[in-house]
C-alpha cells in the first residue's frame, strides 16, 4: 500500500463533525429512518480542502464515500501516461465514488479540488451497514449509479463534439444535474478558468462560448457564477437552430 500524500494526511487531520447546516445539505439523509440517520450522522465527517488538494488518488484503497458540501471538484485520470483527461466536475450536493465503495477496490481516478471546498465523508463500514439495513439508502445509491452511467455515456458523446460552444453547453448541463448535483439550484458559482479546466479549453475560448450561450438565451452570466435559463437546451440544443 502506498503511503498517503501530505495533502491526504492533512485532510484526515482536519476532519470534524458536520454542523446542522451541513447535514441539511446531504441529500440522502432524508430517506433514512431515525435509527439509520442517527448511525449515519455519528459516522459522518467533514474536512476543508484547499485548491489543488486531492480527495481521492489513483491506486489508493477506498476508505470513505465522499460528497461535496461546498466548492468545486474535478474527476480526472492519471497524468503519468500523458495529458490529463477530465471525466466530470462535481458540484455542491454531489456524492461520488459509490461504485468504488461497493467493490471495495482501489480508486481508478483522481478527485481534486479546483477551489477551497468542504467535503463530507461516510466511512465504508457505515456505507456497507446502510446498504444492508436501509431501503431508502439503497434507492438513493441505485439512482446514483443509474444517473452516473448516463453521465459517462454523455461524456463520451461530448468528447466527439467538435463545436467548443456545444462542449461548454453539455459540460454545464452535467454540473446542473438535479440528482447528481442537487444543491446547485439555478446558479452555479464557477469562474471561467475553473470551467476551462473542466472542459479542456482555454479560458478565452470558454469566454467566447459563454457569450454565445448567453446570446441564445440558455444561460446568464452573473457576478461570480452562471444562471441556467434553459437546461434542456444546454443538454440537447442545436446552436444553429
Q: Give the pLDDT confidence of 7-26 residue by residue, as tens digits.
A: 556 667 788 999 999 999 99
- Can you give the three-state secondary structure of 70-90, one letter per residue? ECCEEEECCHHHCCCCEEEEE
Residues 113 and 184 both lie in one domain:
no
- Here the CATH number for the domain that contains residue 226 is 1.10.10.10
Predicted confidence band of residue 187 (pLDDT cuts 50, 70, 90): confident
Residues 74 and 179 both lie in one domain:
no
- Here the CATH number for the domain that contains residue 112 is 2.60.120.10
Residues 49 and 29 both lie in one domain:
yes
158 lies in some domain: no
Residues 36 and 96 both lie in one domain:
yes
Asked if the model's pLDDT at residue 161 lies above 80, the reply is no
87 lies in some domain: yes
Domain extent for 215: 164-236
Enumerate long-range contacts of 100-105, CB under 8 Å, 24 or more apart. 100/62, 101/62, 101/64, 101/65, 101/127, 102/131, 102/141, 104/62, 105/62
Q: Give the pLDDT confidence of 198-207 residue by residue, as tens digits.
A: 888 899 999 9
Predicted confidence band of residue 88 (pLDDT cuts 50, 70, 90): confident
* Percent of the chain topping pLDDT 90: 56
Predicted confidence at residue 4, as pLDDT, reads 43
Residues 61 and 93 both lie in one domain:
yes
79 lies in some domain: yes
Residues 41 and 112 both lie in one domain:
yes
201 lies in some domain: yes
Residues 75 and 123 both lie in one domain:
yes
Q: Helix (H, G, I), strand (E, B), or coil: what is residue 229? A: coil
1 lies in some domain: no
Predicted confidence band of residue 177 (pLDDT cuts 50, 70, 90): confident
* Burial label, 6 (beta-carbon count in 10 A; 0-12, 13-18, 19+): exposed
241 lies in some domain: no
**Number of domain units in the chain:** 2
DSSP string, 198-219: HHTS-HHHHHHHHHHHHHTTSE
Residues 129 and 173 both lie in one domain:
no
Predicted confidence at residue 164, as pLDDT, reads 87
Kind and range of the H or E run holding 65:
strand 64-70
Residues 173 and 69 both lie in one domain:
no
Residues 64 and 147 both lie in one domain:
yes
Of 120, 152, 184, the domain-final residue: 152
Antiparallel, parallel or unpaired: β 45-49 and 117-123: antiparallel
* Percent of the chain topping pLDDT 70: 87
Of 126, 152, 178, the domain-final residue: 152
Residues 65 and 181 both lie in one domain:
no
Asked if the model's pLDDT at residue 77 lies above 90, the reply is no
30 lies in some domain: yes
12 lies in some domain: yes
Residues 169 and 134 both lie in one domain:
no
Of 125, 152, 179, the domain-final residue: 152
Asked if the model's pLDDT at residue 2 lies above 50, the reply is no
Listed range (8-12, 107-111, 185-189) with the worst mean pLDDT: 8-12
Asked if the model's pLDDT at residue 6 lies above 50, the reply is no
Listed range (19-23, 148-152, 164-168, 188-192) with the worst mean pLDDT: 148-152
Q: What is the pTM of this model?
A: 0.83
Mean pLDDT of the chain: 87
Averaged pLDDT, 96-107:
92
Amino acid at each position: 500500500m502506498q503511503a498517503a500524500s501530505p495533502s491526504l494526511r492533512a485532510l484526515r487531520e482536519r476532519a470534524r463533525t458536520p454542523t446542522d447546516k451541513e447535514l441539511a445539505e446531504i441529500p440522502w439523509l432524508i430517506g433514512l429512518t431515525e435509527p439509520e440517520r442517527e448511525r449515519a450522522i455519528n459516522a459522518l465527517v467533514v474536512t476543508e480542502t484547499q485548491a489543488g488538494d486531492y480527495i481521492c488518488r489513483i491506486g489508493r484503497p477506498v476508505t470513505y464515500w465522499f460528497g461535496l458540501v461546498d466548492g468545486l471538484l474535478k474527476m480526472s485520470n492519471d497524468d503519468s501516461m500523458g495529458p490529463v483527461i477530465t471525466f466530470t466536475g462535481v458540484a455542491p450536493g454531489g456524492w461520488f465514488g459509490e461504485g468504488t465503495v461497493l467493490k471495495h477496490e482501489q480508486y481508478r481516478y483522481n478527485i481534486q479540488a479546483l477551489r477551497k471546498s468542504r467535503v463530507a465523508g461516510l466511512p465504508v463500514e457505515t456505507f456497507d451497514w446502510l446498504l444492508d439495513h436501509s431501503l431508502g439508502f439503497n434507492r438513493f445509491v441505485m439512482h446514483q449509479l443509474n444517473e452516473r452511467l448516463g453521465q459517462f455515456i454523455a461524456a463520451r458523446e461530448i468528447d466527439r463534439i467538435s463545436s467548443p460552444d456545444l462542449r461548454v453547453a453539455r459540460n454545464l448541463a452535467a454540473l446542473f444535474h438535479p440528482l447528481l448535483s442537487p444543491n446547485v439550484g439555478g446558479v452555479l458559482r464557477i469562474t471561467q478558468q475553473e470551467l476551462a479546466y473542466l472542459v479542456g479549453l482555454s479560458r478565452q475560448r470558454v469566454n467566447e462560448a459563454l457569450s454565445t450561450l448567453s446570446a441564445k438565451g440558455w444561460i446568464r452570466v452573473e457576478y461570480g457564477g452562471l444562471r441556467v435559463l434553459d437546461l434542456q437546451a444546454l443538454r440537447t440544443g442545436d446552436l444553429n437552430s
